[in-house]
Structure 1
Amino acid sequence: MNKEGLYRDLSTVKQQIGLAKQFLESLNSVKFDRKNVLSWFKKLCGYLTDIILTILEIRSILENHVLNKKTMLLYLYQINTTLSLYINTFVAECEIGEALNEVRIFTTKKLSSCLDGIEDVLIKGISTYPENVGNFILWMDTALEKMSEIDHLKEKEKCLKAFSDAKILFEEVLSHAMSIAQVSMSEDYKIIRGSSQSVLEGLESLSNEISKENPNSAMVKLFAETCSNKLCALERKVNVAVLKICLSTFAKYTDDLENIHKFCFNTENKSKPRDLDNLVMEFDLHVDRIMQIGLFAISCSTNMATCIKIRSCLASLEALESELVPAFNAVLLDYCKQNCNLASILKNHWLNEAVLLKRLICEIIDPLAFCQIVHEENKYLVHTLSLDVKANKSKIDRSVTEQVIRNSIVLDDFLKLITYEEDNIIHIKENISFLQKIIREVKAASDVFLPQEQPELNFKVYKRCKILLNGIYSLCKNFLVENSENSFSKEESLGNEQPVVTGNGFLDHIINRGKQILQDRSILYRSNKIEAFDLRSTTLSKMNALKEKNKSIPLSKLVHLRKISFVQSPTRNQISCELQITDIVNELRNMSLTFEKC
């Protein structure tokens, strides 16, 4: 496309965006009856289709700017998500016979923001798609690459320079690890913190050796390898922690939001605002965990289309952070039809995006790693149960069997969402079928036998839990790849090491950086409180220098949250921008037709 034609098309799309935003303002005057909202919605889809088709014509300007292309696709996915929210809002309005102005305002503001973002990408070349935010794996790989250079350097000055660069990268890895630790289980927090301290001690030993007047090259090499090994050990612990977060989060994926809903829709709770505060705190932590899982999954996948869809879901949840809880609080303070419908629509929108996010994440998680985590957690619970049974107790803690069942159901749901290799699918399906049967058996036995509080009946429940544990072990074996470095046994433990933690001023600095990373995370709609860290910009320049040297970045060791097919099949990542945009246009048209039939 020549420059004249490009400028003409850019001018056209800018004008189209202006017309679409102007049309959005007309929603305030649209009545809630079916005929009016349908007419308005079809016109809106027409404006948006024109914009997207023009983008298709000038897509060539995005091909050499990967982040701009990703940002554009992210905004387009968000437009489709926003249109779905419009449909749900209009359907609810027709049912109750009045306009839901608060939802309209929120949805219109969100769509207008997407249009502004598209204009920024096309006209100004501004990308809001963060290249490395939350990308723990990329920082890991780059840090290991830089540390490996120290082995090959003989001159002291060059060695000190390489160490200084490596230390900056190591500190960034530790900060991101601690940001994940903030939302991990308390035991995993201690493990990650202790492992981070071990890495810092390794760096200090290496620094002391390099700083000597005549450093011993053999000792320098040994300390450098020790630092790399300790960092890989930290990565393993972080991966295990994230998988445990997945298990605990998926086990009660919608519970925290449902608890807020039940509380606020009960008029008897109007005088109990502090109780709501506790529920909101639990929900906020739950959302933080979902966000960290999503960002970590993105860092483990090379499938651009999947990563953008995950980021779109995260952006939707982020957009609701400032709207959802206030909507429920409004119901608690004033239980009326308008407030109830507002809260219900926003809640359903959150659930839809969260469920889609879960499905996308499950496509990235390594099934062997997840099976191992569930087996490990259930093994501990079954051991706890066995102690009560062996003690011949008449009453045992029912929450233990409930947790075993809940973990196993999460695994069953996970296995339903992922795809399998053809040569192994029959055995896997057989084991999944067995897993489902024994889950039902354990649940039935727990419901019938445990209330009777008889030791011999408790033993029957325990035996069924053992069979369930063996079923999960069989599934783990199905996912083992021949000649793989992965191994697994019934006795193997993924994360029981607990390094001793002592006071360390620099470690406190790393922990605070981790908290700041968690606090400042922004997907699309929320601006960072701090636009950029000097440390991060310095590190990025060093990473770019590595790329310019055409040095291959090694795959990190001991990775549990990478799907092998994503790493080994580069063709999976070559998703056509044109194809993705065309799919979005088709989906937009389908939504318009679907709404017409509602």
Structure 2
Amino acid sequence: MNLLRAKLENCLLELSKCSDDSNKRMNWLNNFCAALLEFSSAVHKYMSIQNEAVELICLCLTQIMICIRQLENIVKVEKSCDAKIAASHHHFVERARWCLKRMLRICPDKNSKQDELVLNTEGQSFLDLVDSILDTLAPFSNYNEENSYVNVSEILSCPKDTMHLCRRVGSSIDSVLSQTLSFANVALQEDKRALSALCQKVMREFGAFQAECQTSSSASNIKLKTMTMEQALYQLEDFINEALLRLVFQCFLDTEKFSVDKIRNVLRQGDTSLSDDFIADFDVNIDRAMQIGVFAVAFAPNLKMKTIVRSCLASFESLDTSLIPSLQASGTDLHSEILEQHFNEEMMKFKTAMHEIIDSGALVGCYLDILTDGIQLAEKNFKKTPLMDLNQMAMLLLEHFQLTVNEKVLKDSKCGRGVEYFQQFVRMWRECKAILMCAAQVEPQRIIKRFKIMRSILRKLHSCLQTGTKEEMPQEETQQSLAQTNEAKLDLSGILPSQTSILYDTRERRSRNQRQMKPVETETTKENTTEKNKSMKSTAYASVRRRESLRTQMFKRQNIAESRKRYKSITNNQSVNLQISDILDQLTDLSSTFSETQHLLNKK
């Protein structure tokens, strides 16, 4: 660790030598690259550090690589325009400095304690928490008086053990509901009420389980309450999965609606009210992308994909306090254009990563549901704009199947006609787009008919891509949950939505997400960190998930056994070496590029 720390300090020293003279900046950048290459080489050889540290180092190095490329671009723009872009230069230098200092905290000096190091700022994922609860409850839900591997009666006979168990489960339930509320804050309006109802149901079932544990000595009664609580968790998980996919379509649609370029044009018009609305919608959409990304990170198939998603989210965090102000300030056109280009590049990388992670069948099925709802609304009250949005959303499917990995899904479809159905869908999509352009001269029924034809083709495609029976929560069951919630509402105001930070600590996002709530004052919130970590890392029982809802429906090639095996062996996995090797190759290429550029400049 001392060697890594020394090389990091050398990187910070080189970064601080930045010159105001644009002619010397390329040479400075080359020197900084060389120092970073030495650090990356040392990290590559030092693979025995913690898994969390490896992931964070990969994220920081990726962010620094982005900053280096942006700084190189800024130097070129400054030379071509014969102007200094100090704001852009400062933005990327400070981001690189933040990342170096963040890695410095991982490499302790002689006086630092390992316990004081902060490695993971994201916390546990939603499904890790759900798995933890199910593992803890496994002895009760699988209890059999004649053949049980755990003496449940013995646990219940000891009040101290019973309270400890309830605190462990309650602590995880609080975290699950906290993450659910964070998601609900940015979810589509029609999904908010159902999410609230399902949270109420989980709280109600946990309360019943807790009361039964404290008052009953019957293992059979406890088993019944346990299974009921597990079912409530499954319902919450299923609905979040479906709501998340719907949010993906809306988020990428709004990325085009509220683009940076459109905000710039609105600001130039001087309409304060309209510009405020555009900026607010833009902020909401970034918050939605952050929530989508947090779920996607948990199911990324390898470290490289996980780092790509995290890096995009980290860039969004950093731009949160810079991008919009650069549009509002005067005399910063070049600066805002550089940040806009950077944002668009990161959003494009983010979309590509989502397409690689999201399951093709689930994506098609979600759009099929959205399309069906849209057609029904159009039949009742025809409006052109919602149909244009439906048509634009279909672009997400076109982009999805352009990737090689997803194109292979079409070729390998079980009916053998996936490619054919997709081509038919594309042709029909173009017809729908064309007829909407001249909607004023066409009868509404003819337009709706084309959308219905597109839906029938999509159904065939979806049938080809389905790999199994999707377990869905019946609609009447959701309605029953809503009705029960209206009859006996529990107080959710005491649960604070989780505030995830990927890398950068941006005060603007933190203040915008802050809610006027107080944390729940329960025994679970007083649980010390050591006890909470023990509950999360418990290996007494294997995971007993009876079905893989979110993993198999949204994310491809994932199951809990593979995920845990990958997580435990990641320090020995080639993906770590490949990730660092990729960064080393990029740094080597950059160093040689900078050297050649500097040589040419010296000749001139």
Task: Give yes or no for contact 1:303–1:566 (8 Å, CA) kept in 2.
Answer: no
Task: Give yes or no for contact 2:471–2:549 (8 Å, CA) kept in 1.
Answer: no
Q: 1:204 to 1:548 in 2, by over 3 A?
A: closer
Instruction: Write out per-residue CA displacement over residues 251-274 of structure 1, whole angstroms, 9 at most, x where no aligned residue.
Output: 22243223222223x2x41xx444
SS in 1 for 2:180: helix
Q: 1:128 to 1:485 in 2, by over 3 A?
A: farther
Match of 2:75 in 1: 90
Match of 1:17 in 2: 8
Q: 1:495 to 1:304 in 2, by over 3 A?
A: farther
* Unmatched runs of 5 consecutive residues or more in structure 1: 1-5, 389-395
Q: 1:164 to 1:202 in 2, by over 3 A?
A: same
- Separation in 1 of the partners of 2:292 and 2:500? 13
Task: Give yes or no for contact 1:70–1:129 (8 Å, CA) kept in 2.
Answer: no
Q: 1:302 to 1:133 in 2, by over 3 A?
A: farther
* Unmatched runs of 5 consecutive residues or more in structure 2: 144-151, 512-518
Task: Give yes or no for contact 1:210–1:220 (8 Å, CA) kept in 2.
Answer: yes
Match of 1:276 in 2: 275
Give 1:159 deviation, angstroms.
4.3
The match for 2:444 among 446, 458, 463 is 458
Task: Give yes or no for contact 1:169–1:539 (8 Å, CA) kept in 2.
Answer: no
- Separation in 2 of the partners of 1:275 and 1:440? 32
Q: 1:537 to 1:260 in 2, by over 3 A?
A: farther
Task: Give yes or no for contact 2:134–2:230 (8 Å, CA) kept in 1.
Answer: yes
Give 1:460 deviation, angstroms.
2.0
Match of 2:234 in 1: 232
Moved more, 16-25 or 347-356: 16-25
Q: 1:252 aligned to 2:254?
A: yes
Q: 1:550 to 1:146 in 2, by over 3 A?
A: closer
Give 1:384 deviation, angstroms.
1.7
Match of 1:49 in 2: 37
Instruction: Write out per-residue CA displacement over residues 121-169 of structure 1, whole angstroms, 9 at most, x where no aligned residue.
Output: 2345675442762611111111122223334411433445423422222
Task: Give yes or no for contact 1:135–1:299 (8 Å, CA) kept in 2.
Answer: yes
Alignment of 1:325-364 (within 5 A): 325-330=324-329, 334=330, 336=331, 339-364=332-357
Task: Give yes or no for contact 1:301–1:566 (8 Å, CA) kept in 2.
Answer: no
Match of 1:393 in 2: none
The match for 2:470 among 486, 489, 506 is 486
Q: 1:474 aligned to 2:460?
A: yes
Alignment of 1:408-557 (within 5 A): 408-417=394-403, 418-419=405-406, 420-421=408-409, 423-424=412-413, 427-448=417-438, 450-452=439-441, 457-481=443-467, 484-486=468-470, 499-500=482-483, 501-502=485-486, 504=489, 506-510=491-495, 513-514=496-497, 517=498, 520-526=499-505, 535=525, 538=528, 541-545=531-535, 547-555=537-545, 557=548
Task: Give yes or no for contact 1:240–1:495 (8 Å, CA) kept in 2.
Answer: no
- Separation in 2 of the partners of 1:23 and 1:160? 55
The alignment's C-alpha RMSD in Å is 3.1
Q: 1:300 to 1:50 in 2, by over 3 A?
A: closer
Give 1:550 deviation, angstroms.
4.4
Give 1:45 deviation, angstroms.
1.9
- Separation in 1 of the partners of 2:393 and 2:181? 26
- Separation in 2 of the partners of 1:276 and 1:235? 37
Task: Give yes or no for contact 1:190–1:498 (8 Å, CA) kept in 2.
Answer: no
Match of 2:93 in 1: 108
Letter paired with 1:524: L
Moved more, 521-530 or 436-445: 521-530
Count of residue pairs the alignment pairs up: 550
Instruction: Write out per-residue CA displacement over residues 343-387 of structure 1, whole angstroms, 9 at most, x where no aligned residue.
Output: 110111111112111211221112222211111111001112233
- Separation in 1 of the partners of 2:212 and 2:558? 41
Give 1:322 deviation, angstroms.
1.1
The match for 1:407 among 380, 393, 400 is 393
- Separation in 2 of the partners of 1:549 and 1:110? 39
Instruction: Write out per-residue CA displacement over residues 18-72 of structure 1, whole angstroms, 9 at most, x where no aligned residue.
Output: 34333323333322x5xx4433332332222122223223x1342xx11111111
SS in 2 for 1:29: coil
- Separation in 2 of the partners of 1:222 and 1:277? 52
User: Percent sequence identity over matched residues?
Assistant: 20
Match of 1:391 in 2: none
Q: 1:554 to 1:354 in 2, by over 3 A?
A: farther
The match for 1:374 among 356, 367, 373 is 367
Letter paired with 1:386: E
TM-score computed with the length of structure 2 as normaliser: 0.83
Letter paired with 1:182: N
Give 1:583 deviation, angstroms.
0.8
Q: 1:473 to 1:117 in 2, by over 3 A?
A: same
- Separation in 2 of the partners of 1:253 and 1:372? 22
- Separation in 1 of the partners of 2:187 and 2:124? 15
Letter paired with 1:174: L
Instruction: Write out per-residue CA displacement over residues 557-595 of structure 1, whole angstroms, 9 at most, x where no aligned residue.
Output: 422323234656568763442321111011123345566
- Separation in 2 of the partners of 1:315 and 1:141? 27
Moved more, 278-287 or 548-557: 548-557
Match of 2:244 in 1: 242
Match of 2:358 in 1: 365
Instruction: Write out per-residue CA displacement over residues 401-447 of structure 1, whole angstroms, 9 at most, x where no aligned residue.
Output: 21220121122222323533563396333222222111101111222
Instruction: Write out per-residue CA displacement over residues 226-254 of structure 1, whole angstroms, 9 at most, x where no aligned residue.
Output: 11101110111111111111110012224
TM-score computed with the length of structure 1 as normaliser: 0.84
Give 1:210 deviation, angstroms.
3.1
- Separation in 2 of the partners of 1:505 and 1:486? 31
SS in 2 for 1:363: helix
Q: 1:383 to 1:505 in 2, by over 3 A?
A: closer
Q: 1:215 to 1:308 in 2, by over 3 A?
A: same
SS in 1 for 2:123: coil
- Separation in 2 of the partners of 1:112 and 1:131? 18
Letter paired with 1:70: E
- Separation in 2 of the partners of 1:563 and 1:535? 35
- Separation in 2 of the partners of 1:493 and 1:386? 24
Letter paired with 2:440: P
